[in-house]
Amino acid sequence: MKFSRMTSTAAAGMTLLLLAAAPAIADEEMRPGKAEGLHGSLGLGVGSRPAYDGASDRQTRLMPNINLFYGDTLFLTGMTAGANLWKHTTAQGLNISAGPLLALRRGRDEGDNAALAGLGDIDRALDAGAFVRFRTGGWQARADVRKDVTNGDGGTTVNFSVGRGIPVSEKWRLRANLDASWASAAYMATFYGVDATQSANSGIAQYEAGAGIRSVGASLMADYAIDREWGAYASLRYKRLVGDAADSPIVANLGSESQVTTSIGIKYRF
């Protein structure tokens, strides 16, 4: 299945901007009131991740780590840009924020891995959506919805996460997260389905993937403050594909349900 190329200049520009920031795995949380104007961190590391979503083979690559904030409203972190347009603090100290977001959705090239031969390419896409985030103490919970707005009906995802920051010492800080993702039938068909044409070209049996929970995961991130400006980071993320995603022959027969991503790098805070 091959989607049409992006034709909007504005969309392409935003996509390139987000791609330059991806994939920052150890995302930082926004700290309201930390600083006025632009602040955050810029980093570069090396990471290992599955060759495609559902692959058993891995690839190693350089990974930019960019976490930028403007005041306590705008942010660009990982492959996601957004704005905290609604902010509220309850009497109990629960901070709630919500707003729009834009996110780059990775594509897939059949040349990335031998298992994809004959399945065609899936273009990168720009997702638009909204998020809501809750913070109290060191805890943070977040939910967002994202829909492809550049490749036709590439589908929708709804993502949930909950995590806690854990200061270990003056220099060490850990963050643990749990997450889950739901995907629409269109999204599942794009990434995990095999239609008649793909089946004929690849020799893989036809497969229809329906809407549902597609993955659950957990991650652990560590930050080490070398000095006031410089720091090192490392991350480990485990994702397990479930439901129709896990049952797809692209995953069950040619790949793996278990997806592990690791990274290590250095960053500059300002």
Q: What is the pLDDT of residue 153?
A: 77
Q: Which residues are 89's β-sheet partners?
A: 95
Residue 2 lies in a domain: no
Residue 188 lies in a domain: yes
Residue 4 lies in a domain: no
Per the structure, the complete domain to which residue 92 belongs is given by 9-269
What DSSP designation does 172 have? E
Closest CA to 128 of 161, 86, 80: 80
Single-letter amino acid, residue 157: T
Q: What is the mean pLDDT of the chain?
A: 88
**Cβ neighbours around 30 below 10 Å, total:** 22
pTM: 0.84
pLDDT digits (tens, 9 = 90+) for 49-73: 999 999 999 999 999 999 999 998 9
Say if CB 122 and CB 2 are below 8 A apart. Answer: yes
The CATH number covering residue 65 comes to: 2.40.230
Work out how many domains the chain is built from and give that number: 1
Residue 33 lies in a domain: yes
Residue 1 lies in a domain: no
Residue 193 lies in a domain: yes
CA atoms within 13 A on the CB side of 26: 32
Residue 76 lies in a domain: yes
pLDDT digits (tens, 9 = 90+) for 194-228: 999 999 999 999 999 999 999 999 999 999 999 99
Mean pLDDT, residues 153-169: 94
Q: What is the pLDDT of residue 34?
A: 54
CA atoms within 13 A on the CB side of 173: 16
Mean pLDDT, residues 14-42: 54
Give the pLDDT band (50/70/90) at residue 112: confident
